[in-house]
Amino acid sequence: MFSTGSKLVAALARGMATSARGKERKVAVLGAAGGIGQPLSLLMKMNPAVSQLSLYDVANVKGVAADISHVNTKAVTAGYEGPDALADALKGCDLVIIPAGVPRKPGMTRDDLFKASRAINAGIVKGLVEACGKYCPGAILNIISNPVNSTVPIAAETLKKLGVYDARKVLGVTTLDVVRAKTFYADKLGVDVASVDIPVVGGHAGITILPLFSQATPGHSLKAEDINALTKRTQDGGTEVVLAKAGKGSATLSMAYAAALFADACLRGLNGQVATECAYVESSVEPDVPFFASRVKLSTEGVETIHPVGSLSKYEKDGLDALKPELIASIEKGVQFVQSA
Ligand SMILES: NC(=O)C1=CN([C@@H]2O[C@H](COP(=O)(O)OP(=O)(O)OC[C@H]3O[C@@H](n4cnc5c(N)ncnc54)[C@H](O)[C@@H]3O)[C@@H](O)[C@H]2O)C=CC1
Ligand SMILES: O=C([O-])CC(=O)C(=O)O
């Protein structure tokens, strides 16, 4: 029993944290009582790079914080409930992870989460990012709340309005797309998933998610129809989970895992170690698309280098052309939402 537990902790630690010797780091999870927030908070409590963990939600977070605080790892954990507690949750934060918001139900697109109930997720992200701009303006933000294609531009515009925007520090979390592409590809090839790497570029909704299997490691000689099937499954991975959960939400556990990996990469960067991950950021790698996901190098100030998409197959070039109008429209919608507020 005990040794199995130790192995589990060691495996998680190997995958996630290499930065335990860095500075003391304060991390906040906003939306910590939710389907993603709870397992993500646990994973952040297990990250040795974290010395303080703030768990914030509008409801039900005290119990989550009390529960997680008993885990015998370094991070001192506290729960903060309701808007009056937000300032204390955020003060001194190095990294703020935002999975607050409403998840999809079957039949909805991610963009419906922007529209539904008076732009609910758009408003939630705007409000939380405003608080980050006031109480921890230098922190790196990891935006998980959907529609990511719009919520990241919302975050950027919100911080611009406050005069504290630093494009290097606002990152949309697209890691789950990479996690899915790796899993599906390894399964198809019958190889160890740990040996697999695949960049996923574009955005985080439907056809804007573009996995680049032509750049996959290890290489392959898959037929065009197999690449098409892998691409579609990666693009529809979120919907696959939404349908399987049949009205009880969207991906939470795989998302918490993906967010914990990405947050760890940000912490490693902050602590001066090299970390490269795909992320959706303000970018000039594709002309006319002001926010775009591609590989980014993370360092002490957040995004240090944004890598171009690299060489693409004809299939991927067509996918890139096809995704741009939708992605640009989602970006404009986010920008408009803040500018017209
Ligand atoms: N980027 C990605 O790859 C993914 C994004 N998501 C998105 O993450 C979001 C959260 O999903 P779940 O955790 O499943 O939803 P959930 O409904 O289980 O949890 C959301 C939490 O946010 C809290 N919340 C609502 N308004 C808040 C506010 N103003 N401040 C702080 N907390 C607030 C709620 O009280 C709740 O605890 C959704 O928008 C979902 O679409 C989900 C999966 C993957
Ligand atoms: O599909 C959704 O609504 C949640 C999500 O972003 C994902 O699982 O990739």
Do 58 and 156 contact (CB within 8 A), yes or no? no
> Which of the four pLDDT bands, split at 50, 70 and 90, describes residue 5?
very low
> In the structure encoding, which two tokens stand for residue 304, read together?
């240090």
**Nearest-CA residue for atom 9 of ligand 2:** 238
Ligand 2 mean position, distance from CA 235 (Å): 10
Question: How many C-alpha atoms does 306 have within 13 Å on its Cβ side?
Answer: 21
- Annotation marks residue 70 as catalytic: no
- Token look-up 């919608």 returns 333
Return the pLDDT at 239: 98
Ligand nearest 60 Cα, by number? 1
| DSSP, res 217 | B
Residue 210's beta-bridge partner residues?
201
Tokens coding 308? 């171009």
**Ligand that comes closest to the CA of residue 99:** 1
CA distance 276 to 295: 6
In whole angstroms, what separates CA 267 from the centre of its chain?
14
Q: Does 44 show up as a binding residue in the annotation?
A: no
Q: What angle do CA 109, 182, 125 make, to 5 degrees?
A: 40
Measured in Å, residue 257 CA sits from the centre of ligand 2 at 14
pLDDT tops 70 at residue 190: yes
Average pLDDT over residues 6-30: 66
| Mean pLDDT, residues 146-173 | 98
Q: Which atom of ligand 2 is nearest to the CA of 146?
A: 6
| Average of per-residue pLDDT across 59-78 | 98
How many CB atoms lie under 10 A from the CB of residue 5?
A: 9
Residue 1 has what pLDDT? 31
Model confidence pLDDT, tens digit, residues 231-280: 999 999 999 999 999 999 999 999 999 999 999 999 999 999 989 999 99
Inter-helix orientation angle 237-245/224-235, to 10°: 50
Integer Cα distance of 294 and 203 in angstroms: 9
Contact 54, 89 (CB under 8 A): yes
Q: Provide the token pair at 141.
A: 């933000």
Averaged pLDDT, 284-309 = 98
Contact by Cβ (8 Å): 23, 50: no
Whether residue 18 has pLDDT greater than 70 = no
Is the pLDDT at 2 greater than 60? The verdict is: no
CA distance 160 to 176: 28
Which ligand has the shortest distance to the CA of 148? 1
The alpha-helical segments, DSSP class H, found in 136-217 are 148-162, 175-189
148 CA → ligand 1 middle, Å: 12
241 lines ligand 2 (CB under 6 A): yes
Domains in the chain, CATH or no CATH each: 26-173 (3.40.50.720), 174-340 (3.90.110.10)
- CB contact at 8 A, 32 and 65: yes
Could you tell me if the ipTM is greater than 0.95?
Answer: yes
Instruction: Tell me the longest C-alpha to C-alpha distance in the chain.
Output: 57
Per-residue pLDDT at 101 exceeds 70: yes
- Helix (H), strand (E) at residue 211: strand 209-211
Query: Who lines ligand 1 at CB under 6 A?
Result: 30-31, 33-37, 56-59, 99-104, 113, 121, 124, 127-128, 144-146, 148, 173, 176, 204, 249-252, 255
Check whether 33 is labelled as a binding-site residue: yes
